[in-house]
Amino acid sequence: MIKFFIHTFGCQMNECDSERVAGILSGAGGVPVDRLEDADVVVVNTCAVREKSEEKLFSYLGRIALLKRKKPLRLGVVGCVAQLRGVELVGPRLGVDFVLGPDNYAELPRLFGSPLQERFVSTEWSTAWRETPPGLIRRESRTSAYVTVMEGCNNFCSYCVVPFARGREKYRPLPSVLAEVADVAARGYKEVQLLGQNVNSYKDPETGAGFADLLRRVSEVDGIAWLRFLTSHPRRFPAEINRVMMERTNICRQVHLPLQSGSSAVLKKMRRGYSREMYLDVVTGLRGLIPDIALSTDIIVGFPGETERDFEQTLEALRIVRFSNIFSFRYSPRPLTRAADLVDDVPVAEKRRRLAAVQGLQKTIQLELNARAVGQCQRVLCQGPGKKTPELMSGRNEANQVVNFLSGRASCGDFVTVRITGFGPYSLRGEEIAP
């Protein structure tokens, strides 16, 4: 029996992949353990999107190398860094025994029955969709299930390593998506999150049906109370999606729409394929049909050549759109990307200042938005006791905000009605009211 431990860096796509990796290992007879120290096999699922995430990976590998001196242990690196660096990772320097790219997880059962010393690397791309049977996926959450609908990206934004780490776009057949959604509904999941690097470029390989069709079909599966999707590209956000969202009440009124910069000049250098005005038009279209929609975004500060004026335009865009949440980062050059050839000319101290300014402004906006929620009654999907406040239950509302609330009866997986009584910049507080 092999005891395995998985450590995941990065985004929801990686969390979702780790659930597949755990499923494949369990299906082959492995047993998951909660502590690294108890494992025979450690799998590190990696993120290459930012320099910092790679730095964290190497420091984590150093920690495992120390453990390897004390006990027999096999260490594997999977995911984006595995794909990019491949064989370079294997060997005594980092202590890595096997490396698998995102298309190669089906090879994990090689660990069973092979000698401890065997090393292997597999980073071949597959052009066909690789199916993991839904029953094999070991989901972390008991309330919300990730369902991948596409992988990879054809956009080649100038700063982004994803097309190199995840390959070109591949779309999952629509019947297979529907089958997995039906499976999770039958297992009692209340919420489904459709995932892909570019969900709105989805095309069913058989019929050519687009993302709006997929969204509608998934929303019609019995038992799915809430449906979300991530990530959408602003360049291809057709009005059809807005209409489906308006018509289907189980699609949450919430969209993550990465802006990256509020300056058209910077967006052009980023090769994002839209201008500031085009982005704001998409927002206007969404809010025209669904006025209370919650929008979140990604922002990069300090892209090569970003002037003070460009940066001010990003701040202005935040003031105009008033996002409910943002993920903001300092630019760092990534290997293989076009922007890596540009002069990284915004000094680190200035990038830090800009990041602090973005985050400070956003905090003020969120406090203002959250203050307005006080007194409202909101539907919340309970995820169990709060991590920091175990005396309260914790869940998410339709806008995907954390809501911590007093309750005498709610348990994980229940929908409850919560009256909002307080707020902070990043969460709401409240109390359950009688149904």
Q: In the numeric block, which tokens belong to residue 397?
A: 């509302």
SS (H, E, C) 337-359: CHHHHCCCCCCHHHHHHHHHHHH
Q: What is the distance between the alpha carbons of residues 163 and 48, in angstroms, rounded to a whole number?
A: 11
> Rounded to an integer, what is the distance from CA 95 to the centroid of its chain?
28
Closest CB 169 distance from ligand SF4, rounded Å = 9
Closest CB 91 distance from ligand SF4, rounded Å = 30
* Cβ proximity to ligand SF4, 151 vs 432, nearer residue: 151
* Cβ proximity to ligand SF4, 148 vs 197, nearer residue: 197
Q: In the numeric block, which tokens belong to residue 154?
A: 């054809």
The residue among 103, 181, 171 whose CA lies nearest residue 147 is 181
- Tell me which amino acid residue 183 is: D
Closest CB 271 distance from ligand SF4, rounded Å = 8
Backbone angles phi, psi at 93, to 5 degrees: -60, -50
Please list the alpha-helical segments (H only) found in 167-274. 174-186, 211-219, 239-247, 264-269
**C-alpha atoms less than 13 angstroms from C-alpha of 267 in its C-beta half-sphere:** 22
243 within 8 A of 288, measured Cβ to Cβ:
no
Closest CB 4 distance from ligand SF4, rounded Å = 29
Place of tokens 């069709």: 213
* Cβ proximity to ligand SF4, 156 vs 415, nearer residue: 156
* Cβ proximity to ligand SF4, 120 vs 156, nearer residue: 156
Query: What strands lie across the sheet with 294-301, from one edge to the other?
Result: 254-256, 294-301, 325-330
Place of tokens 């019995």: 222
* Cβ proximity to ligand SF4, 11 vs 318, nearer residue: 11
Closest CB 152 distance from ligand SF4, rounded Å = 8
* Cβ proximity to ligand SF4, 144 vs 155, nearer residue: 155
Closest CB 344 distance from ligand SF4, rounded Å = 18
The residue ranges that bind ligand SF4 (CB under 6 A) are 153, 155-157, 160, 162-163, 197-198, 233
Q: What is the distance between the alpha carbons of residues 392 and 412, in angstroms, rounded to a whole number?
A: 12
Kind plus residue range of the DSSP H or E element containing 318: helix 308-321
Closest CB 160 distance from ligand SF4, rounded Å = 3
Closest CB 298 distance from ligand SF4, rounded Å = 8
Looking at residue 392, the DSSP 8-state letter turns out to be S
* β partners of residue 255: 295
* Cβ proximity to ligand SF4, 61 vs 160, nearer residue: 160
Closest CB 387 distance from ligand SF4, rounded Å = 30
* Cβ proximity to ligand SF4, 260 vs 313, nearer residue: 260
In sign, the C-alpha dihedral spanning 339, 344, 349, 354 is: negative
Angular region, 95: left φ>0, alpha ψ -120 to 50, beta rest: left
* Cβ proximity to ligand SF4, 99 vs 339, nearer residue: 339
Closest CB 228 distance from ligand SF4, rounded Å = 18
* Cβ proximity to ligand SF4, 57 vs 160, nearer residue: 160
Angular region, 381: left φ>0, alpha ψ -120 to 50, beta rest: beta
Q: What is the distance between the alpha carbons of residues 52 and 329, in angstroms, rounded to a whole number?
A: 10
Q: What is the distance between the alpha carbons of residues 29 and 108, in angstroms, rounded to a whole number?
A: 11
